[in-house]
Structure 1
Amino acid sequence: MRLPDSQLAVLEAASATEPTPVDRLADETELKPETVTRAAFDLRDDGLVTIAERTETTADPTDEAHDYLESGLPEVRLYRAAIEADADDAVELGQLIGAAGLEGPEVDIALANFARKGYGTIDSGSVTADPDADPDSDPEADALATLADGGSVDNDAIDADLLDQLERRDLIVRREHTVREITLTDDAVTALMEGIETAETVDRLTPEMLTSGEWVDVEFSEYNVEADAPSIEGGRKHILRQTADRAKDVLVGMGFQEMDGPHADADFWINDCLFMPQDHPARTHWDRFALDVPPIQGLPDQLVDRVESAHRDGVGEDGDGYHSPWDRDFAEAVALRGHTTSLSMRYLSGFAGADIEPPKRYFSVEKVYRNDTLDPTHLLEFFQIEGWVLAEDLSVRDLMGTFEEFYAQFGITDIKFKPHYNPYTEPSFELFGEHPTTGEIVEIGNSGLFRPEVLEPLGIEADVMAWGLALERLLMLMYGFEDIRDVHGTLCDLELLRETEVLH
């Protein structure tokens, strides 16, 4: 009997009494696992081996989990800090956050799991710890330690619900793969005892073989077209970026020009120009991401004076401002923009060099940043479809008609409107659409006509209607996604994105 080198190597390494996994055969033969697998299938077809297959699940701790294995789960650290602070009585949460060494998203993680695990209660910013709780036997921490030490998930050593919880927290990644084990048949044992010769084979036809005539005498390897092959996924544009590009195309087709500008900007452009009082709750550190960088001091002085006057005293004979504190240092402070309306202010003021003689239409589809609580419809950063129209005698009907035309391009024709309050627009209204899967009414944007307190300091004498629409919410209405975290972010479901058919 004559066999190719790879098949002979597999036969010599395999056993007739003990099933041998492909990975172990690859190590012993110094062949690639896929080469061993291909050789095994060929040998099986010749009746020389049997192949047993089973599915094995592994759960690997993520980088975040490894960090927690060293420092402790956030909720456990919060509990220990509360106990050390004698939190039988309520202790301010802010005091415990620093003592526990919690930073960034760890704070929300600790708050989400503290009460769930029975470590205590959190009420109105105060923490009370249960002194009878036992963080040393935290099931999630124990399971992570077991998995980090190479523990298996197939022998029921770790509860399935616990694994599900760890996966929801993005602390483990579960993978399924096929394990193949090879066993020699009696015919293979006989053949090995009688002796097997090595067959010199080639796996491809080359131009040199054709020109020399060598192809006549060589023996070509057989190919098993049913054998497993590695799955290779090609790269492609993310579905969210595809939808963003399509939104841009629609708006350009409606006569709009695109704006651009900085993601980190002075609070003056982000909020002050929008007649947002500086003591507004949305401008605290709980909602905005302030940056520890030098302030932007190149603001146009005359515009700053007019905006400050509008805040203090209002505009017009009957105007009335907020009569609240207004500080230029705060206006010059830099933060990540919470909406792309900062671009609208730059353009409408002429500061961005745009021609603002009416009529004009501008838009942007850019990322914004807000310190929101993560849930199926909210992320810390998302894309906003910003737009405004500068013209004479605009009305709410013009604004509603613009939305109906825009969303109709995406097959969405059941937009609903609800009156709303904004500090910078009057009248104002929110937009809603029906989710195609759940039937829930989902907020998809906010809009209105800019108030005189916004336009007069900018030197605008015509009307301006404006809006901010959520690109991710548009995606949910188009494709039926129920959790936007499946589409982008740390919990992104790659299989979902690969399988989703792009709509045109």
Structure 2
Amino acid sequence: MKLPPQQVAVLEAASADEPRRIADLAAEIERPPETVTGAAFELEDAGLVDVVEETEEEVELTEEGREYAEDGLPEVRLYEAALDAGADDEPVSMGEVIGTSGLEGPQVDIALSNYARKGYGSIDSGDLAADPDADPSEDAEAAALETLAAGGAVEADDALDQLARRDLVAVTERTVRSVLLTEAGVTELMAGVESAEEVGQLTPDMLASGEWRDAEFADYNVEADAGEHTPGKTHVLRQASERVKEVLVGMGFQEMEGPHVDADFYINDCLFMPQDHPARNHWDRFALEQPEKIDELPEDLVERVERAHREGVGPDGDGYHSPWDEDFARALALRGHTTSLTARYLSGVAGEDVEPPARYFSVEKAYRNDTLDATHLLEFFQIEGWVMAEDLSVRDLMGTFREFYSQFGITDIEFKPTYNPYTEPSFELFGRHPETGELIEIGNSGIFRPEMLEPLGVEADVMAWGLALERLLMLVTGFEDIRDVHGTLCDLEFLRDAEVVY
């Protein structure tokens, strides 16, 4: 029996006793795995081998998982700090223990949420107690992290499931193919198999020399599956962004642009956000180290904004009676919202002479030091928009939203009153997720307050909003986790296959 060389090599390397993996065969006969796979399927068509497919799980540590494998799980570090503070004898102030544990930011919440769950102790009224009988060396999650970090394998169990839920490991499935000789394959090997030199492709040289007349060409299997082709495509977020721009331009809006790094003055102070507001501390913002502050601010604008903060606006204005410091306002940071662009345009700093009626929008990134979860990332796209006109009302604002979202097939929208320092009245928007049926927040909006508009030199009404592009996409496509569309754990299969259809 004559077969192509690669098929002969695979047939001779295969076993009739136990399946041999494609990867092992490829290494042994020194041919690419894809060549061996093709030869194996051709031999299977001839009845000489069986191709066995199995699904295996691969477990890999995420960046956060690698960090905890090296430094220890937050709850374990909290327990060890609690023991050092004597919390196994009597409860100790939670703040004291956290301070000595070295935990920072989101790690504190993670440690507190898992501390009692794992039986390390209890937390009551700000005091923390440690169970002296708890043993971190028996922590199954910590042991699994150490094993994975050392290159070992961990079998599926409750600990692995918990690590996956905490996004400390990424579990993926892959198909493993193996080859097993059939009785017919053994018979042909015993009878003798010869290598037939076949030509797989007709070349110009063969035509010119006439060599093609004596060549034996390999059969071409027109029924064979084609290789998977994953060409580049426009990211689903970019598709959604472009569609949003088309809709808003069609509604008469002009696009804004401006810096991603800006002074706190434009990000917060111009929005009548008090300087002692909790959202303006270092936990919630990404401050710049170099350069640390903006060089110039318009003196007259700074004076008017400071006066609004200290004294308020109008005969009934009262201001905040809280500290206001220009040096603090000059600090540079990644913008926490794209409303900084709105402040620049309304004040004229952006170089636009805005007069009512006017409509502007942007679809740009904003940055916040949030805790990562299914609906929050450290950076996200915000659909910023505002309308300047006389005698605007909440009905105008709601009507704008209904018109905008209807362009995406979304009609089930709910509104909830809320508080913003820079708008009054204010309300949040909620849309119903098509898969889970849950209401998810999709934006925030309101009518800008006089305390914001008067210092900027605006005499008309301005209604404004900040909508989440990723959550709009959730309502359109049905995906449930924002990390599926961008970030280090994005779902490549979803990105390749998802269609943004309106």
Answering whether residue 145 of structure 2 is matched by residue 144 of structure 1, we say yes
| Comparing 63-72 and 20-29, the one that deviates more | 63-72
Match of 2:296 in 1: 298
Deviations 1:441-461 (A, max 9, x none): 333222222121111111112
**8 Å contact 1:425–1:449 — kept in the other structure?**
yes
Question: What pairs with 1:375-414 in structure 2 (closer than 5 Å)?
Answer: 375-414=373-412
Match of 2:417 in 1: 419
Q: Give the TM-score normalised by the residue count of structure 1.
A: 0.90
Q: Distance in 2 between matches of 1:231 and 1:104?
A: 43
Q: CA deviation at 1:228?
A: 6.4
Q: Distance in 1 between matches of 2:252 and 2:471?
A: 24
**8 Å contact 1:389–1:465 — kept in the other structure?**
yes
Deviations 1:135-180 (A, max 9, x none): 1111012223344555556xxxx34333222222233333333333
Q: Distance in 2 between matches of 1:297 and 1:485?
A: 37
Q: CA deviation at 1:327?
A: 1.3
Q: Distance in 1 between matches of 2:279 and 2:130?
A: 30
Q: Give the TM-score normalised by the residue count of structure 2.
A: 0.90
Q: Decide whether aligned partners of structure 1 residues 317 and 205 sit closer, same or farther in structure 2, where only a CA change above 3 A counts.
A: same
Deviations 1:329-378 (A, max 9, x none): 21112222221111111111111111212222111111222333444333
Match of 1:27 in 2: 27
Match of 2:117 in 1: 116
**Match of 2:196, as an amino acid?**
A
Count of matched residue pairs: 500
Answering whether residue 357 of structure 2 is matched by residue 359 of structure 1, we say yes
Match of 1:80 in 2: 80
Q: Distance in 1 between matches of 2:321 and 2:44?
A: 86
Match of 2:344 in 1: 346
Match of 1:370 in 2: 368
Question: What pairs with 1:22-421 in structure 2 (closer than 5 Å)?
Answer: 22-88=22-88, 89-91=90-92, 95-97=96-98, 99-103=100-104, 105-122=106-123, 127-148=128-149, 151-152=152-153, 158-185=155-182, 187-189=184-186, 191-193=188-190, 195-224=192-221, 231-293=228-290, 294-421=292-419
SS in 2 for 1:220: coil
Q: Distance in 1 between matches of 2:217 and 2:127?
A: 76
Match of 1:14 in 2: 14
Deviations 1:172-218 (A, max 9, x none): 33333333333344554554455443211121222333344332321
Q: Decide whether aligned partners of structure 1 residues 70 and 376 sit closer, same or farther in structure 2, where only a CA change above 3 A counts.
A: closer
SS in 2 for 1:65: helix
Segments of 5+ residues of structure 2 without an aligned counterpart are none
Deviations 1:421-470 (A, max 9, x none): 32212222222333333333333222222121111111112222211112
SS in 1 for 2:87: coil
Question: What pairs with 1:453-464 in structure 2 (closer than 5 Å)?
Answer: 453-464=451-462
Q: CA deviation at 1:304?
A: 0.8
Q: Distance in 1 between matches of 2:276 and 2:24?
A: 67
Q: Distance in 1 between matches of 2:493 and 2:237?
A: 15
Q: Distance in 2 between matches of 1:426 and 1:186?
A: 82
Q: Distance in 2 between matches of 1:150 and 1:267?
A: 46
Runs of 4+, deviation exceeding 6 Å? none
Q: Decide whether aligned partners of structure 1 residues 194 and 375 sit closer, same or farther in structure 2, where only a CA change above 3 A counts.
A: closer
Q: CA deviation at 1:83?
A: 1.9
Q: Distance in 2 between matches of 1:50 and 1:143?
A: 36
Segments of 5+ residues of structure 1 without an aligned counterpart are none
**8 Å contact 2:236–2:499 — kept in the other structure?**
no
Q: Distance in 2 between matches of 1:53 and 1:388?
A: 57
**8 Å contact 1:367–1:384 — kept in the other structure?**
yes
**Match of 2:20, as an amino acid?**
T
Q: Decide whether aligned partners of structure 1 residues 336 and 116 sit closer, same or farther in structure 2, where only a CA change above 3 A counts.
A: farther
Aligned partner of 1:495 among 469, 493, 498: 493
For the aligned residues, what is the CA RMSD?
Answer: 2.7
